[in-house]
Structure 1
Amino acid sequence: MAADMIKSALSKKISFEKALEKDSDGEEKLRALILPGALISIANPYWTIWWATIGMTYLANASQYGNTATASFFMGHISADFAWYALIAFFISKGRKFLNDSIYHKLIIVFSLFLIYFGVSFLIDSIQYFI
């Protein structure tokens, strides 16, 4: 996923400016992207892979402490996702004056590198755990 994000940023396939263009009726396209964005997030194979591996591991660990712990983990995780995306949406809506495509592409590359770091760390930790 991170490699694809870097590739998209370097090839300039994604554009912050295009996402903020207005439709003919004056509505921002960004607003029209919220529901499709949520649906794509759920349909994203990485979302399924995360829940089938890491998420299930956390749920299994939480289940050792009962249903309340399991529900708390799940609700906490979903709430954290919602808070994160709300924060991102807030910064995008307020940061348009400061964010252009060049900065946007650089941010995507930086965050992609973080994803690579976390993925490699997870892989190393998993190997060490099983060895």
Structure 2
Amino acid sequence: MTFATIGISLEKGSRSGGSVFIGHAFVELIIFILILVGISSSISETMLSYLTMIGCLMMLILGMMLIKSAKGDSTMEILESESRMKLSLNPIYAGILTSALNPYFVIWWLAAGTAILLHEYMISVFAVIAFIFGHWIADLGFIVAVASSSSKGKEMISKNTYKRTLYFCGGLLMTCGLWFLINYNNVSAMI
């Protein structure tokens, strides 16, 4: 999600960080509810493997979109590429996709996250609410800081550095997607 946030904020500006967070928080809210109703104990290894493969493919697609956007800058102005990208990559959807389809995010919530959330639930409903809001404040702060620094940094860097940053973020997204795809059986075994 960090690399997607950097790439999107370079394209759409610092306000996109809040939108990425909204998508991320939406996915987490669903996960919180599912954990509290007990669904985490019924997730099968096969289901996790499918989720991992879909997540890998989505990371590859998002990485290719960032690289395609950077390639377009070699013949067109940056503003033209920004208008193209606005049609193709919505920050809220990026937050949803990079959260829901990240195998390690899901594994963390099925393991450690479930334990933490259920521990808070045993204390009180207010402890759960405090945990969720505290978690979201930290997530929002991090995502907004990444988006703001990336977006403001764009004004200080050259067009070539801007393009290289998009290539780097797209390449890292694709590398992570390929790594997860190659090792998806190991990811599933971690549960």
TM-score, structure 2 normalization: 0.39
1:51 counterpart = 2:92: no
Q: Which amino acid aligns with 1:73?
A: F
Distance (whole Å) between structure 1 residues aligned to residue 116 and residue 124 of structure 2: 13
For the residue of structure 2 that corresponds to 1:64, the secondary structure is: helix
Pick the aligned partner of 1:18 from 65, 70, 92. Answer: 70
Mind listing any 5+ residue stretches in structure 2 that lack a counterpart? 1-55, 177-191
Aligned length: 99
TM-fit CA distance, 1:76: 1.2
Q: Percent identity?
A: 19
TM-fit CA distance, 1:28: 6.8
TM-fit CA distance, 1:30: 6.2
TM-fit CA distance, 1:45: 3.4
Distance (whole Å) between structure 1 residues aligned to residue 86 and residue 108 of structure 2: 27
Q: Which residue of 1 aligns with 2:97?
A: 40
Q: Which residue of 2 aligns with 1:119?
A: none
* Matched-pair contact (CA < 8 Å) for 1:62–1:69: yes
Q: Which amino acid aligns with 2:139?
A: D
1:27 counterpart = 2:111: no
Q: Which residue of 1 aligns with 2:140?
A: 82
Mind listing any 5+ residue stretches in structure 1 that lack a counterpart? 113-131
Deviations 1:6-50 (A, max 9, x none): xx9xxx9765x72984446x6373684412311212322332222
For the residue of structure 2 that corresponds to 1:27, the secondary structure is: helix
Distance (whole Å) between structure 2 residues aligned to residue 76 and residue 57 of structure 1: 17
Distance (whole Å) between structure 1 residues aligned to residue 90 and residue 120 of structure 2: 34
* Matched-pair contact (CA < 8 Å) for 1:22–1:29: no
* More relative contact order, 1 or 2 (CA 8 Å, 6+ apart): 2
Q: Compute the RMSD of aligned alpha carbons.
A: 3.8
Which one has a larger percent helix, Structure 1 or Structure 2? Answer: 2
Name the CA shift for 1:34/1:61 in 2 (closer, same or farther; >3 Å).
same
